[in-house]
Structure 1
Amino acid sequence: MARNHTGKYLLIMMGLCCSGWAYADDKMGHDIHGFDAPIEVSSFTPIHESMNEQVKVQISDHIAEHSTHIPSPPTYDIHVPDYLSLSQAQALLLKISPKIAADNALIVSNEQRAKASQSLNKPIIYLGATASHLHLDEHINTQPLKNRLSDGINQQIGQNSQTLPINPSANPSVNIGELLTNPLPDTYALDTDKTRSHANVTLLWSAYDGQRVKSLTQLLNGMTDESRADADISLAEQYTTLTKRYFQVQLAIKAAFLRSQALQAIKETDYAAQRALDMGLISRLERLEAKKALADADYENTKALNDAELAMNALQRLMRTPYPIKPTTPLFISTKPIPKLSYFIEQAKQHHPAFAKVSAKYTQAHALHAMGKAGNKPTVNVFMRAELDKNPNWLVGVSANWKLWGGLDQQLLIQSNLAKLHQAEFSQIDINDNIMLLVEKNWQSLKNAQKNYIALASNIEMAEELVRFRRLGFQEGMNTAVEVMQAEANLEKAKTEQAKTANDYVQALADLMQSCGTPLAFNHHMQTADVKLPVVYLQYQHD
């Protein structure tokens, strides 16, 4: 089907091009099991365990040129095929999604930080070394010191002259203090040149910390568990987004195919109407109405092609490819009985990562509470220092500290941490209620989509029969061309509605699996479905 403004669209069957719209038969086969036997599904593999494949890493030059503050991340040389099954797309998503890579990096960061904190209560040993050189060349003037010393001697002699055997005052011309200090030099030369080196070992050990380090490690472990739960929630969301976009492409292409079929049938009827007008069998008004119906069909066909292109672009963006992705997994639906609601509720209780996140929050709150209580406990530290020498000097000691007053109010801090514990407990109840409600909503949507699909099967049969009667009536002159076109449009509408209902079923199933915390269990239900629609591909070709 040609488009004048951009290029051409072709539908291809199982990868083989043809000049127009072609139908792809279902090559998937049928499975009769359906939903009969509820299965036990395990939670999906966390992303930190699923990214072990070694890939060639190269730096993206484009990002490096335009980044000024954040270093450019590594990019991975991964080939993404243009024909993809859903399971292949899910496996590739783990390797190409930057969000998954960022979540994985955060998990690794938190894990290593928690491991690093475990060594805080181990002894710390320092090795120190010092090398020094001293050079001193000075001349010290001793005359002021001599004068003060001489005056002091004379003063003491004068005060104690009566007690001395010889009275010095009898000969006042004699300066005894000066006589005693004259032998001292007037200046003193100080010339020193020394080099010294020594080494020492210092040990510090927190012998008792009131469980502070243990509480800190528990806090960091709780933060690591929370990052894992957040990553699992994000991964489930991305799996669901991939599933929805994948099958939305199928629906959009299916709708475009049905619009094209209807347009082709209406064109044939329009041609017959023109011949009938030429032979005088119909009026000009009927011919004008037929042209209007053809124009409407052509508009709807163009709109369907645009919608298909938009859906393909959305999937292409998610898979980060420069070319459109062609899904090979068909739309499906199971007409078998759906398991009871209690089965899916139990799955959600066991596997939904939101419960793990609340548990991690509780672990963090409990660790903070323990750290708050540790503030009232003493600390004991052992320290030692020794020189590395033949005759070393050394020091060994123990210090104990117990805060009696000041700093953070410990009672208020303990109350704050208790409130965090209560917050985690109430959050557990709230999340349980929300998830159970979400599971029930998605389960009901799945049942409704299944019922609607089965009900629409009879509508298609009646629409096909009506088209057959309208065409026969038009040949006999009993029906107008517009009535035939309306019947053909209604048949296309019924088929499109049934395909939409199948897509609604798939979308509801994806939401249900996400709300259960088991997004990859979608694949099992897909494989056991007993109704699978034919696969149709849309290929865009430039003029």
Structure 2
Amino acid sequence: MPSFKNKAAFITASLILLQNTFAFAAPVELSLEKSIEIALKNNPSIQIAAEDKARSLWGVDEAKAGKIPSVSLGSSYNYQGDSGKDSFSNNVRMNWQLYSGGRTEAQIDQAELGVKTADLNVVKAKQQLKQDTTTGYFNVLESKNMLAVNEESVNNLKAHLNIVQAKYEAGVVAKSEVLRSEVELANAEQNLIKVQNQYDLAVSSLLNTMNMDAGTEIQLAGELTYVADTRTLPEAIALAKQNRPEIAQAKVSVDSAAKGITIAESNKLPSVSLSASTGWNDTLLPNDNHNWSVGASASWNIFDAGVTKSKINQAESSLNKAKLQAEQTQDTIEQEVRQSYLNMKEAEKRLKTTDVAANKAKEDLYIAQETYKAGAGTNLDVIDAQLALTQAKTNHVQALYDYNVSKANLDKAIGSQTE
């Protein structure tokens, strides 16, 4: 009896362990929204953009330091050799630039504009990552559907081969029909192997985008479906002009280039600074014998052999370039929207025709199979019908994929929100 109890306990413990093992090995179920959320949280591109923003913020502090007094401490030591009269001296100096001709203020403005650019870079990185994740998600779904299409093709050809072999053994058909059916099955199995590899690669790419372990088993909750998009092309272009961070960045670049002209022109104006200093000798701390001074100074560069004029001309040229680039950016984005929109509409039209073709091909295969079973059709009729069905279903899956990806590209092109 004790032995029986021990065995029962062992079996129970084994079942619990096995259950926990399967629980740990359960695939991670992912919706499209969850995949995007994970990517935004884990992908280093967002963290890199955030670090660029932090650096820009420090750049503002650096520029503002130009309006604050600077203080320096100096010390020197002199060794007099055999005389034994070593000495050291100390001094503290303060300098405060009261007026720089507008240079410091313009540099601060440029640094703050740099923060805006960095902010927009974060938005741009999020939008790009959302598109990459969405495309990767649809790649997995497409490969999954293609896997199902090719598995069906292999199963159909296997079933047909069994029928052909039975007919051959009954002496109804020639050996060549068996060989031809075997060749078609082998070709279908080769295609299935390729599609399986494409699926594995698609999963690996999606995991990489989400920065998840490559060995993670996933299960996608969604399917490739058709959801009509009611946006018109003019509406999409208007949204892009309003939302795309690249357009806002181009405007910031124009403003920053305008500040560059102010910085260059500051060399034509005087600069005024206030200074103060104190010094003492042969003691570590100041004593009664230390001396001090306070003064103000002004300088005005009246002639610099055309250096300032050249800098102003360069700054004006940079401003003109920034304006042209802003126009070019807007044109490029408008073309991107138009291309994504037209690709989506083209795929939408293909969806209808490929769906009809797939249904007709399925019916045609059924007729060819039944006719062949009855002895009124040929082996080639069945094989051709199967190939046509596989191609029709492949075309439909491809159209579904193209529609959904083009729709995602349109979302990116108009600057869709990521939060």
After TM superposition, the score normalised by the length of structure 2 is: 0.84
* Matched residue type, 1:416: Q
Displacement after TM superposition at 1:324 (Å): 4.5
Kindly report which structure 2 residues correspond to 1:105-504, keeping only aligned pairs within 5 A, or say none: 105-126=51-72, 201-320=92-211, 321-336=213-228, 338-386=230-278, 388-390=286-288, 393-406=291-304, 409-504=307-402
Contact 1:456 1:494 in 2 (8 A): yes
**Secondary structure at 1:443's aligned position in 2?**
helix
2:64 matches 1:102: no
**Secondary structure at 1:479's aligned position in 2?**
coil
* Matched residue type, 1:326: I
* Matched residue type, 1:491: L
Displacement after TM superposition at 1:239 (Å): 2.2
Displacement after TM superposition at 1:434 (Å): 1.4
**Secondary structure at 1:375's aligned position in 2?**
helix
Separation in 2, partners of 1:194, 1:447: 89
Superposition RMSD in Å: 2.7
What's the CA shift string for 1:207-249, capped at 9, x where partnerless?
Answer: 1111111111222233333333344334322322221122111
Displacement after TM superposition at 1:471 (Å): 2.1
Which 10-residue stretch deviates more, 293-302 or 310-319? Answer: 310-319
Contact 1:86 1:327 in 2 (8 A): no
Corresponding residue for residue 511 of structure 1: 409
Separation in 1, partners of 2:82, 2:368: 121
Displacement after TM superposition at 1:259 (Å): 0.6
* Matched residue type, 1:114: V
1:208/1:290 CA distance change after superposition, 3 Å: same
Displacement after TM superposition at 1:327 (Å): 4.5
1:416/1:436 CA distance change after superposition, 3 Å: same
Corresponding residue for residue 143 of structure 1: none
Corresponding residue for residue 37 of structure 1: none
**Secondary structure at 2:231's aligned position in 1?**
coil
Displacement after TM superposition at 1:483 (Å): 1.8
What's the CA shift string for 1:449-485, capped at 9, x where partnerless?
Answer: 1121122222222122212212221221111233223
Separation in 2, partners of 1:298, 1:193: 98
Separation in 2, partners of 1:336, 1:131: 82
More contact order relative to length (CA 8 Å, sep ≥ 6): 1
Which runs of 4 or more aligned residues in structure 1 lie more than 4 Å from their structure 2 counterparts after TM superposition?
A: 126-137, 192-197, 386-392
| Structure 1 unaligned regions, length at least 5 | 1-16, 18-80, 138-191, 522-543
Separation in 2, partners of 1:200, 1:305: 77
Separation in 2, partners of 1:482, 1:497: 22
Contact 1:331 1:506 in 2 (8 A): no
Contact 2:120 2:249 in 1 (8 A): yes
Displacement after TM superposition at 1:384 (Å): 1.8
Contact 1:312 1:324 in 2 (8 A): no
Contact 1:510 1:519 in 2 (8 A): no
**Secondary structure at 2:377's aligned position in 1?**
coil
Separation in 1, partners of 2:174, 2:219: 48
Corresponding residue for residue 71 of structure 1: none
Which 10-residue stretch deviates more, 116-125 or 273-282? Answer: 116-125
Displacement after TM superposition at 1:89 (Å): 2.0
Kindly report which structure 2 residues correspond to 1:59-78, keeping only aligned pairs within 5 A, or say none: none
**Secondary structure at 2:112's aligned position in 1?**
helix
Contact 1:373 1:414 in 2 (8 A): yes
**Secondary structure at 2:173's aligned position in 1?**
coil
Displacement after TM superposition at 1:391 (Å): 6.9
Contact 1:331 1:503 in 2 (8 A): no
Displacement after TM superposition at 1:502 (Å): 0.9
Separation in 1, partners of 2:135, 2:346: 18
Separation in 2, partners of 1:473, 1:194: 117
What's the CA shift string for 1:178-218, capped at 9, x where partnerless?
Answer: xxxxxxxxxxxxxx979998x76533211111111111122
* Matched residue type, 2:399: T
Report the identity percentage.
Answer: 20
Corresponding residue for residue 66 of structure 1: none
Specify the structure having the higher radius of gyration (Cα). 1
Separation in 2, partners of 1:315, 1:416: 46
